Structure 1
């Protein structure tokens, strides 16, 4: 009987951590081209627009920095305090649970937008009589005038006065790819259109995560 090679949680998530460390935004910032391991089971990475924190349930490692470009020396004491970018509950008071089946729909839609070279997209809101509907929506300014805006319904929550929140399409796609690989439902937390959004899991056997993305300011 052949025993399958089961990847560890660290191996399953490593490509997503490296994707951020290797992004275009870290090209001229060597100190961000690393993955920080700390607290025995926590991995942290950022490119200044997004951050991913993962706490593993069955991993144990010492404090270290995984240098993506290992031949480049760097002063790791200058690594930023990434924990301070995590918004508190007051900054992201709204919660929307997204089932894994919906994540697959989001992934398909975002991949199509990327093919269409739609650089920015948004989370949009429509007020109802007793609740607000939440959508994933392509930004009109990136589509020809004779094409209609594409919308994907995500869910509803209590009445709120949220403005639409704009994001880089590729970065949002990266988050959804990560969530899909977890094979779990996720929770989207958000607040003002100026505040970062947070994706996180509720109950997990292998690891807990927070994936944070800063919005694009539209004037």
Structure 2
């Protein structure tokens, strides 16, 4: 069973779709573009905010810790229990991320949104705030190809399978690879991919361009 599940995860990762608002990327281009967004945050003294629900919240916390500790990039989640219960009680859980982001998120920041289904309303609301404020957005989703989240980022990762376990493990694997590749100089970086990233980031840089229900959501 374990070996079978491992092979299923490997297959799902191989099928991951990487997109910008108007084109598909290969995995090297996607990795370099993600790194380009992180460098942009560093160069502009910004921060990375990472949001998700349930298992995706755990992945978000792990990624934020790695950014802060390993890459020395300011990063945080929005999971203080007092704040979450206050906002959920006063405004509803759909606004648990969007309310703090309205106050905290700046145009030099990056919002990373993780949702297995891509249908979580609180994630979508947070993304809307980021786009209105001119911040950059990266999304990770799965399940159905027409889920709303997968088209909202300057960079989007989509795993085409309806399986919570595989999608969550896939998202965790992808984000850990982002960290590992940054820290491993031996991973080749091709000039054409770096040039591609620079062109993509400038096209969708919110500082230079105008921003643009499944019963169980996670």
TM-score (norm 2): 0.28
The structure whose Rg is larger is 1
More helix per residue: 2
TM-score (norm 1): 0.28
Which structure is higher in RCO with an 8 Å CA cutoff and minimum separation 6?
2
